[in-house]
Structure 1
Amino acid sequence: MSEITELFINKFIIYLLVLVRMTSLFVISPVFGRQNMPSYLKVGLAVFSTFTIAPLFGNVAIEYTSLIDFSIIVFKEFLVGVIIGFVSYMVFAAMFVAGQMIDAQIGFGMVNVLDPQSNIQVPLVGNFLYIFAILVFLLVDGHHILFSALVKSYNVVPINSFLLTESLVNNLVTVFVETFSIALKIGFPIIAAVLISEVALGILSRTVPQMNVFIVGLPMKIALGLLALLLIMPGFSNTLDYLFERMFAYISIIIQSMAKG
């Protein structure tokens, strides 16, 4: 009876740790982490995934000597899922940063909308770019690839094998820095168009001093900015495909750096 009890407890611990890693993906990931996604759907998906994946581990012994050691193991599993979700969210965070820069240039700096995921005010254009990125992400089955990456992470980072290595920290910083680079590249065409209009208005104000440049310039910058946004949209989906490929490549690199320096 003691062997059966020990086997049952070991199985329960394995299922619990797998559930923790699966659930942690829903904290910050771009699709699963949204607060307007029903909680019962998140829990149901996490439990279903756990019962699908956990039997593949067989009789893996989880060694710990105290409750503190077990809590550390749980925290490690939680970190694996959160870090993968964090890396996947960086591309979408770049949409908000780009939108903030664009809004500041075209005159929408004071116009914000509520983001249901983070419950904060986000830029108008940034929210539009974010929703468009989510649609493209779903169209290319990015949520399937993201979920598959978490499942495959067990091949590189088994249970209780997470390491906070120097390469992991460096890669996370690289992803964070590249977020701003991506945002600048996305917003650059619109910012450049508005900057040219500013130069033109400056020349016009010197040529025709009687013209009120502020009254003419504000609607002109809005119209020019929206027109430039409309012109870049056909190629924006291709840009997103490239960014998603980079994102999945970074996720693979991050997972590798969790296991070794």
Structure 2
Amino acid sequence: MTGPMAEKVLLYLLAFLRAWGVLAFLPVFGSRNVPWMTKASLALITAFVVFPFVPESKIETGAEFLALGARDFLFGALLGFMGRLFFAAAETAGQLISYKIGLGLGEILDVQGEYSLPVISNFTGLLALLVFLASGGHHFYFKALVESYRIPLEGKMASVAKGILERSPMVLELALRLSAPLMVLNFLFYLGLVVVGRAVVQMNVFLVSLPMQVGLGLLGLGVLLPHLPPVMKGTWEGLGRWLLQVLSP
């Protein structure tokens, strides 16, 4: 293909592939429940929005176009995967809380990933989704896509991939920060049971421990609930600032 119009079409297809990479891995939009036609339509619309920022470049051969397409899709997938890390941290925190308060065996189907999760893990995942949307996480990805066209991508792919790998421990760090208060509460509860069991030998502490553990855990979760969204929001905004800093010229 030659000519100005053909070059515009090829550049638009490259923008579409980069947007498709983001949407394929981005939470909510990348869910299996979202039909692929819907994802393709969203990617086409996103590519249309960011197309004015795509720099002019000549594509000489089909092999060059395939290489650029693979590069753009991979870069978009890296951006989307960063959002996956945030949601994985929230779900991991929910799993830790579920096991500590005695609800680890109560699982329900996660409608986004189509796999079973403990009840509390599903709840923290949905809470992270609300924080993501309320803090403009979907708008952030539009901005990140636009910023990615202001820099030569060849020099940033490795740094973005390396940075995401370095921030992978954030999953465990955020999960522990969210679940630590209830883990401490659970430890103190069992410490109290040991004292009661020693003081009142006739009491069957194992019989009364589970309902008390669940009730105390749910009460603690209710007290902790107002403090979870600010922690999630701070972590997400920190990830966003880091990525925009990496993408800055």
Q: TM-score, normalised by structure 1?
A: 0.86
Amino acid at match of 2:115: I
Q: Unmatched 5+ residue regions in structure 1?
A: none
> What is the CA-CA distance between 1:237 and the residue it aligns to?
2.0
The aligned counterpart of 2:233 is 241
Q: 1:20 aligns with which of 17, 22, 32?
A: 17
Confirm or deny that 1:149 pairs with 2:149.
Answer: no
Post-superposition offset of 1:14: 0.7
Distance (Å, rounded) in 2 between the aligned partners of 1:58 and 1:102? 48
Check 1:254–1:79 CA distance in 2 against 1; reply closer, same or farther (3 A cut).
farther
Match of 2:67 in 1: 72
Cα deviation 1:187-240 (Å, max 9, x = unaligned): 000111011001001111111122111111111111111111110111222222
Q: Which residue of 2 aligns with 1:96?
A: 91
1:130 corresponds to = 125
Q: CA, structure 1 residues 144+56, in 2 after alignment: closer, same or farther (shift >3 Å)?
A: closer
- Measured in 2, the distance between the counterparts of 1:255 and 1:55 equals 18
41-50 vs 55-64, which deviates more?
Answer: 55-64
Preserved contact between residue 22 and residue 49 of structure 1 (Cα < 8 Å): yes
- Mapped to 1, the partners of 2:155 and 2:10 lie a distance apart of 17
Q: Is the 8 A contact 2:19 2:43 kept in 1?
A: yes
Aligned-residue identity in percent: 31
Cα 1:58/1:208, change in 2 over 3 Å: closer
1:33 equivalent among 30, 38, 45: 30
Residue 35 of structure 1, CA deviation = 2.5
Q: Tell me which amino acid in the other structure corresponds to 2:30.
A: G
Deviations 1:117-145 (A, max 9, x none): 22222221111011012112212222112
**Displacement after TM superposition at 1:255 (Å):** 3.8
Distance 2:218 2:122 in 1: 14
The C-alpha deviation readout for 1:51-106, integer Å capped at 9, x for no partner, is: 23324446421344x53x43222111011111111112211110111111111111
Q: 2:193 aligns with which of 201, 224, 237?
A: 201
Aligned position for 1:250:
242
Distance 1:169 1:19 in 2: 21
SS of 2:202's equivalent in the other structure is coil
- Secondary structure (helix, strand or coil) at the match of 2:167 reads helix
Corresponding residue for residue 165 of structure 2: 173
Matched, 1:227 2:219: yes
Any conservation in 1 of the 2:7–2:59 contact (CA below 8 Å)?
A: yes
What is the aligned-residue RMSD (CA, Å)? Answer: 2.2
**Structure-2 separation of matches of 1:43 and 1:251:** 25
1:157–1:33 Cα change, 3 Å: farther
Question: What 5-or-longer segments of structure 2 have no aligned partner?
Answer: none
The match for 1:10 is: 7
User: 2:104 and 2:3 mapped to 1: Cα distance?
Assistant: 61
Pairs aligned (count): 249
Please report how far the alpha carbon of residue 37 of structure 1 lies from its aligned counterpart in structure 2 after TM superposition: 3.1
